[in-house]
């Protein structure tokens, strides 16, 4: 036993001696030479540069001028006349009002007859577009097809001819100035625009439109109208018929709007403002000593008339419309059909419309809006 123990001690002593001779050391420790070499390598290796963040860039004067020309084009201007968070909410009636620069389809006699059978006699200029034209145009300008828009155009659809048709006045175009703009980090372009010559009562005075680069050009994405009377009706629901009229309400009606600007009934307003939507509401023409007062209630459901002189007491709903006659140099006509559209309607020839009243020069009549402005 003692001999074996002595041998083990001798072997371990030899191993330790060998380790000392070969310089065995901690594998995690570095020699001075190795450390210097690693630091040198790190110093000679270029550091990886952090990617530059994309920043917002203001548009130059030349770019603004180019955008201004673009937005004033007949094919683009209509996209600026309604507010939308998503272009699929745009008002297509405004977009196509003047035809959007598209080639018009001919008004053949059979097309005329089909249209008048649905919408009545043609009194003004017309726009006729095929559904294919509308769809292709919208895809080019927005990237979406006609069926993807929330509301189809409020036009007459002539299925037998694959045509949408609408009567209209001279134009809904507005001159646009691009005051400033910026290219955003996400690649969109935001343009801050105004309508020159706008007065306090202008329908649209300023807006901000957002464009996005597409494969073949820029696409409309968003438009926010920031100034103008159009904002008075923002967020309001379409005026609905309040049912039978109570004559007792007349005692609460007012007619105190300042109408000095139309004294003499020789003043004309903007015919383009006289639309059915802008006339939604309750209107009152006071008793004048010759005839009793008249109340008109105009809604998306129909029209009610309270006029004892006409033997109408607001208990029935009638069809009504606004006829644009500006192509003939005439003011719009508000028509209320007591006995259907085949007989002569009660007609008011509206010379102009303000938020609180509308007036008729030839009939020397003023109707005052009740319950505030809906324009």
- What is the tens place of the pLDDT at every residue in 159-203? 999 999 988 766 788 899 999 999 999 889 999 999 987 555 577
In a domain, 160, yes or no: yes
Domain endpoint, select from 145, 168, 191:
168
Is the pLDDT at 302 greater than 80, yes or no?
Answer: yes
**Mean pLDDT value of segment 207-233:** 89
Closest CA to 297 of 309, 286, 284: 284
Q: Looking at the structure, tell me whether residues 265 and 363 fall in a common domain.
A: yes
pLDDT band at 54 (very low <50, low <70, confident <90, very high): low
| Range 91-95 average pLDDT | 92
Asked if residue 87 is part of any domain, the answer here is yes
- Residues of the chain above pLDDT 70, percent: 78
Q: What is the pLDDT at residue 31?
A: 47
In a domain, 88, yes or no: yes
Looking at the structure, tell me whether residues 275 and 219 fall in a common domain: no
Query: 81 with 189, same domain?
Result: no
Residues 205 and 263 in one domain: no
pLDDT, position 170? 65
Question: How many distinct structural domains can be found in the chain?
Answer: 3
Residue 233 pLDDT class (50, 70, 90 cuts): low
* Residues 144, 120 share a domain: yes
The verdict on 207 and 315 lying in the same domain is no
CB 283 within 8 A of CB 295: yes
State whether 212 and 270 are in the same domain. Answer: no
Residue 270: give the domain boundaries. Answer: 247-370
| Tokens (6 digits) for 113 | 């007859």
């Amino acid at each position: 036993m003692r001999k074996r123990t002595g041998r083990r001690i001798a072997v371990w002593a030899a191993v330790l001696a060998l380790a000392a001779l070969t310089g065995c050391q901690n594998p995690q420790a570095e020699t001075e030479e190795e450390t210097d070499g690693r630091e040198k390598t790190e110093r000679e290796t270029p550091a990886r540069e952090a990617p530059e963040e994309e920043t917002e860039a203001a548009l130059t004067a030349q770019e603004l001028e180019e955008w201004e020309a673009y937005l004033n084009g007949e094919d683009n201007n209509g996209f600026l006349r309604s507010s939308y968070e998503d272009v699929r909410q745009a008002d297509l009636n405004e977009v196509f009002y003047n035809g959007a620069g598209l080639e018009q389809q001919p008004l053949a006699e059979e097309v005329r007859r089909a249209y008048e059978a649905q919408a009545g006699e043609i009194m003004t200029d017309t726009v006729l577009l095929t559904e294919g034209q509308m769809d292709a145009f919208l895809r080019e300008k927005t990237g979406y097809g006609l069926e993807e828009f929330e509301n189809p155009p409020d036009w007459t659809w002539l299925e037998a001819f694959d045509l949408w048709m609408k009567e209209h006045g001279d134009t809904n175009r507005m001159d646009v100035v691009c005051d400033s703009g910026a290219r955003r980090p996400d690649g969109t372009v935001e343009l801050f625009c105004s309508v020159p010559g706008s007065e306090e009562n202008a329908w649209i005075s300023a807006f901000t439109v957002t464009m996005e680069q597409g494969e073949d050009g820029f696409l409309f994405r968003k438009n926010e109208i920031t100034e103008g009377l159009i904002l008075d009706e923002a967020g309001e629901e379409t005026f609905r018929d309040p049912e039978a009229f109570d004559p007792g309400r007349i005692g609460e009606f007012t007619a105190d709007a300042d109408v000095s600007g139309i004294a003499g009934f020789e003043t004309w307003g903007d015919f383009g403002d006289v639309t059915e939507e802008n006339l939604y509401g309750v209107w009152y023409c006071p008793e004048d000593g010759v005839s009793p007062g008249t109340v008109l209630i105009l809604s998306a459901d129909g029209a009610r008339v309270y006029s004892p002189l006409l033997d109408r007491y607001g208990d029935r709903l009638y069809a009504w419309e606004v006829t644009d006659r500006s192509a003939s140099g005439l003011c719009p006509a508000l028509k209320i059909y007591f006995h259907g559209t085949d007989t002569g309607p009660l007609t008011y020839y509206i010379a102009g419309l303000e938020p609180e009243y509308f007036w008729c020069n030839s009939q020397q009549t003023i109707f005052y809006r009740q319950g505030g402005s809906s324009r």
